[in-house]
Homo-oligomer: A and B are copies of this chain.
Amino acid sequence: MAQELSKSHFINLKQRTMYNFEYQNPVKIIFGKNTIPTVAKEVPTDAKILLTYGGGSIKKTGVYDQVKNALKDFKIIEFGGIEPNPHYETCMKAVEIVKSENIDFLLSVGGGSVLDATKFIAAAALFEDGDPWKILSEKAEVKAALPIGAILTLPATGSEMNGNSVISRVSIQEKKAFGSSKVLPQFSILDPECVFTLPDKQIANGVVDAFIHVMEQYLTFDVNSPIQDRFAESILTTLIEEGPKVLANRKDYEAAANFMWSATMALNGLIATGVPQDWATHAIGHELTAFHGIDHGRTLAIVFPGMMNLKRKNKKEKILQYGKRIWGITEGTDDERIDKTIATTIEFFESLGVPTTLTEYNVPAETVEKITERFKTNGYKLGEKRDIDYREIEMILNDRW
């Protein structure tokens, strides 16, 4: 998972001092009730727009009509049907349209999947160094991209305020991420009322996704960064409080707004300033999605407890701090506190209706072998210390039956 907005310079992996960093996030956020029609003020008037969307839920919820009404004087071509865990193959069809129709602005209307796809389309359309798959497979530099605007209908990924994108290539069962400031949205419109029509499963997945985004930047080895820690804890606590309220009453605007803003804050570079970052849970989770199509948020709920358990020594200080400040766990030996912290985290995910074991998703044992083999072959090492290789990945997954 790229974190282009906040480039921290790792001086020394044992260092306790905050790292040097660069931080810049120019995305314009337009947040609140009835903000969708303001899109007309944000898109360049002479633009030829590709409106990207997903499976059509925006037509049922009325968001599509709001956008079309607001942009009735604009030149728009539509590209629907972007799937969850958006496919490279689908994106490349959109790239053809962008080129043949001389599209010069991309408007994403949907959740993180639609926006991630739109970012890849924006970069791939102007990519000049061969096959755009290289942006994902080889981290080829994105030198230019078409401008993007976003109307977000589902709080979860934080894609609305970052330059990250995750794309799946179904033909080879691969799921890959890239990050570039070139694909930052020019603007993102966040109307919390979009939450009102979401099914339980998407709310729960979104809460877990945002929660783990925070964890990947927070639950690392200990660095002296109290502002970043407390901001991270602020987001965690708010997700824990507001997530269940949203599930219980989908029309609770206040809870929806707080949930939505939490998810954006969870992955906009802010809490990543000057601190190590993990992203092992995401990397392993992506494999579960690649092989079995398990929802992204759910893969994180499976993997994360196993990662905490395996890294209980490396991350000891932070796990204890997390247990104490977030869950009030202060009694017992360090190991007992860590056990209780892991168990409480699992309970939280399950309370949202998210199963957390491989068994519950009917994942076969061979999948663990396949994933292990993949990491053995590519030699990737994960985690903030790059000390999680295929053997640790196997242990993490086998902890989760």
Contacts and interface: CB of A to CB of B under 8 A. Distances in A.
A32 B33 CA distance: 39
A253 interface: yes
Interface in A10-57: 16-35
Interface of A: 9, 16-35, 224-227, 230-231, 233-235, 237-238, 241-242, 253-254, 257-258, 261-262, 265, 270, 273-274
B24 A28 contact: yes
Contacts of A226: 234, 237-238, 241-242, 258
A150 to B, nearest CB: 14
Contact of A227 (B35, B258, B274): B258
Contacts of A28: 22-24
Contacts of A26: 24-26
A20 B260 CA distance: 13
Contacts of A254: 16-18, 224
A31 B227 CA distance: 14
A24 B26 CA distance: 6
Contacts of A31: 20-23, 273-274
Contacts of A27: 24
Given A23-B28, A28-B22, A31-B23, A234 B241 contact: no
Contacts of A233: 230, 234
Nearest to A30: B22
Contacts of A29: 21-24, 273
A235 B227 contact: yes
A218 to B, nearest CB: 13
A234 B218 CA distance: 15
Contacts of A19: 32
A21 B17 contact: no
